[in-house]
C-alpha cells in the first residue's frame, strides 16, 4: 500500500519568514495530494490540494509543488503569521471513489512573533 513520509516533524520560524514542509510517497498510482492543517482536538482542515496533472498550485500565501518523477510534494507558506501555528499533514490517495487517504506523520509548525 501507499506510504507517505513527511519532514520535518517540527519546524519553528519567525513571523514573516517562509516555511517549507516536504513529503514523499511510494505509490506511483497516487494522483491526489491534499494538505491539512489541524489544530489541537479539531478535525483536519484542507488548506490546499494538488492533482497529478499539475506541478504547482498557489493560493495566496500557500503553495504546493509536485514532482511526480521523484514522487515528492511540498507545502510552502510565505509571510508566516502566529495563527499559522498548528500541525500540518500531507496525504496521498488514488482517483477512485473508494480510495483512502494515507497521511504523513505530521509537522508541528510554530511561528514565533
Partner 1 sequence: GAVVSQHPSRVICKSGTSVKIECRSLDFQATTMFWYRQFPKQSLMLMATSNEGSKATYEQGVEKDKFLINHASLTLSTLTVTSAHPEDSSFYICSARVAGNYGYTFGSGTRLTVV
Contact footprint for partner 1 (CB under 8 A): 32, 34, 41-44, 46, 49, 51, 89, 93, 95, 97-106, 108
**Nearer to partner 1 among residue 5 and residue 56 (C-beta):** 5
Distances (CA, A) of 77 to 12, 20, 87, 111: 13, 6, 13, 11
Closest distance between partner 1 and the C-beta of residue 79, in Å?
26
Question: CA-to-CA distance for 70 and 86, rounded, in angstroms?
Answer: 27
Closest distance between partner 1 and the C-beta of residue 103, in Å?
5
Closest distance between partner 1 and the C-beta of residue 48, in Å?
12
Amino acid at each position: 500500500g501507499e506510504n507517505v513520509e513527511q519532514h520535518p516533524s517540527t519546524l519553528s520560524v519567525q513571523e514573516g519568514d517562509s516555511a517549507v514542509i516536504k513529503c514523499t510517497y511510494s505509490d506511483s498510482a497516487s494522483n491526489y495530494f491534499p494538505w491539512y492543517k489541524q489544530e489541537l482536538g479539531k478535525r483536519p482542515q484542507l488548506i490546499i490540494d494538488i492533482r497529478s496533472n499539475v506541478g504547482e498550485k498557489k493560493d495566496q500565501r500557500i503553495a504546493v509543488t509536485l514532482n511526480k518523477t521523484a514522487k515528492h510534494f511540498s507545502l510552502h507558506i510565505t509571510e508566516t503569521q502566529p495563527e499559522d501555528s498548528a500541525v500540518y499533514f500531507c496525504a496521498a490517495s488514488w482517483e477512485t471513489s473508494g480510495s483512502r487517504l494515507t497521511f504523513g506523520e505530521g509537522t508541528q509548525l510554530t511561528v514565533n512573533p
